[in-house]
């Protein structure tokens, strides 16, 4: 099942990369689609964080979940630290410090 998924995804990603390099294909995506695609990365990456933040506790547990506070801390890091990698490292350090304090 996982292998099937991997090959399906490989096909999908390749299609996205190749399709507009095909000379026989007439181009021009509709404006609405092009406009929406500009937001695909921020919106989908954010949506993926949802279930991770929820963990096993659900919506009611968000207030007592270290993930919630660590995510807020990460946002602060990203705003202050302009280097992406450094920002991730600092927020991870904050997360583990928080886990240690809350446990």
Contact positions vs another protein (CB under 8 A): 1-10, 12-14, 16-23, 27, 29, 31-32, 34-54, 58-59, 62, 67, 70-71, 74-75, 77-79, 82, 84-85, 87-88, 91-92, 95, 99
CB of 64 to another protein, least distance (A): 15
Positive/negative CA dihedral, 6, 8, 11, 16: negative
The CB-based long-range contact list for 57-65 (8 Å cut-off, 24+ gap) reads none
Which of 39/101 has CB closer to another protein?
39
Q: Helix 84-102 to helix 66-80 angle, to the nearest 10 degrees?
A: 150
> Is residue 65 within 8 Å of 57, Cβ to Cβ?
yes
CB of 24 to another protein, least distance (A): 9
CB of 35 to another protein, least distance (A): 5
């Amino acid at each position: 099942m996982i292998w099937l998924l991997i090959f399906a995804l490989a096909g999908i990603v390749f299609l996205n990369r190749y399709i507009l390099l095909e000379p026989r294909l007439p181009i021009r995506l509709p404006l609405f689609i092009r406009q929406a695609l500009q937001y695909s990365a921020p919106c989908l990456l954010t949506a993926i964080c949802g279930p991770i933040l929820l963990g096993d506790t659900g919506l009611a547990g968000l207030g007592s979940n270290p993930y919630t506070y660590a995510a807020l801390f990460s946002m602060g890091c990203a705003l202050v630290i302009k280097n992406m990698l450094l920002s991730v490292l600092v927020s991870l350090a904050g997360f583990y410090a928080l886990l240690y304090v809350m446990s």
